[in-house]
Amino acid sequence: MNIYKPDLMDVLEVNQHTADIKSVKIAFKDKSKQQDFAFRVGQFGIFSAFGYGESTFNICSSSTWKDYAEFCFRRTGKVTEALWRIEPGDTIGFRGPYGNHYPTDEWEGKNLIFIGGGIAMPPIRCAIWYALENREKYGRITIVYGARTVGDLVYRDELDKWAGYKDVKVIRCVDPGGETPDWDGEVGFVPAVLEKASVPADNSVALVIGPPIMIKFSLPVLSKMGLADKDIYTSLENRMKCGVGKCGRCNAGPVYVCKEGPVFNLEQLKRLPEDY
């Protein structure tokens, strides 16, 4: 088998979230493969625009949804520039699922705190939907999501939907200066908003994904809230090419992020050198 050869996927739907972020729903051209496709939330795929190359994105749909998989990207380079132009009916390539996943089984019976920044909403969104679809297995859910400006928030419609669920609290924020006159969310940086929100942290796990600077300042807040290192999770975004532990690009200290990651808890992360 050629491990580098992707499956061909039909583009079902394209949604534009911000000036430079779109999400895409795809399904295997081979219907039986779509039926058999199984992954765990937190895993990633390698997506191709033929003629331009491959890019790595989280699979941001819930693993409980069987009709399609979804990914979300920011238009920022050659491949994403090409993906920006795709329309329903087009074909793209997909390899995966790769990497480890969020330990959603271990999280059962716990309260969940999701913290995201900007384009990092998609890799959290899959876990949020997974938890909502298995609502009875999890306790309170708190979602803190921030972006630079109101226009940079992705999956805004879903934020409102989530807020409607029982025992789900959604805190939205934008960086100072990023608010609009009708903005009814918080204004401030994610770590500060998180601290101010005084989220109860008993029997909780946190998943925090965002720009390195946001993660860096959110971690001490979570620790202060009383979360143990083993209960704070993140997903590393190291650059990848092969996704299967060969190309040598995603090393962070002793780990191959594509195989042993991308999901790490803070306890594991503290043992890694700062190479991400």
Partner 1 sequence: MSAVISQTELRRLVDGWIGQGVQVAGPRQVKPDHVLYALLNESGQLAMDGFVRPANSIKEFVYPRHEKLYGYRLNEKEIELTDVELPAKPQVVLAARPCDAAALPILDPLFNWDFQDDFYNRRRELTTVVTLACNNHDAHCFCTAVGLAPDAERGSDAMLFDLGDGSYEVRCLTDKGRKLFDGKTQSSDKVGQAKAAPKKTIDLEKIRSFINGDFESPYWQELTLRCLGCGSCAFTCPTCHCFDIVDEGNAAGGERVRNWDACQFCLFTKHASGHNPRTAQGQRQRQRVTHKFGIYPDKFGDILCTGCGNCTRNCPVSLGIFPVLDSIQKVETGAVEAA
Nearest distance, CB of residue 136 and partner 1, angstroms: 35
b/e string for 174-202 if b means 16 or more Cβ within 10 A?
A: bbeebbeeeeebbebbbbbbbbebebebe
- Pairwise CA distance, residues 265 & 42, whole Å: 13
* Contact residue for partner 1 among 52, 65, 165, 217 (CB under 8 A): 52
| Of residues 130, 116, 98, the one with CA closest to residue 260 | 98
* Residues between 3 and 32 that touch partner 1 (CB under 8 A): 3-6, 8
> Which amino acid does the sequence have at 248?
G
Structure tokens at 74: 């920011």
Question: Toward partner 1, which CB reaches closer, 5 or 166?
Answer: 5
| Of residues 159, 213, 211, the one with CA closest to residue 184 | 159
Q: Is residue 48 at the binding interface for partner 1, with CB under 8 A as the rule?
A: yes
Q: Is residue 249 at the binding interface for partner 1, with CB under 8 A as the rule?
A: yes
CB atoms within 10 A of CB 48: 21
* Contact residue for partner 1 among 133, 253, 267, 271 (CB under 8 A): 253
- Whose structure tokens read 């003629």? 51
Do residues 178 and 149 lie in contact, with contact meaning Cβ atoms separated by under 8 Å?
A: yes
Site string for partner 1, 55-94 (x = CB under 8 A): x------------------x-xx--x-x------xxx-x-
Q: Pick the piece of the chain touching partner 1 (CB under 8 A) from 47-55, 172-180, 183-191, 218-226.
A: 47-55
Q: Is residue 148 at the binding interface for partner 1, with CB under 8 A as the rule?
A: no
Provide CB contacts within 8 A for 135, sequence distance 6+.
165, 166
Question: Toward partner 1, which CB reaches closer, 48 or 61?
Answer: 48
* Contact residue for partner 1 among 251, 267, 270, 271 (CB under 8 A): 251
* Contact residue for partner 1 among 237, 262, 263, 269 (CB under 8 A): 237
Would strands 7-16 and 21-28 be described as parallel, antiparallel, or unpaired? antiparallel
Judged by the rule CB under 8 A, the positions of this chain that interact with partner 1 are: 1-6, 8, 48, 50-55, 74, 76-77, 80, 82, 89-91, 93, 211-212, 237-239, 241-242, 244-249, 251-254, 256, 259, 273-276
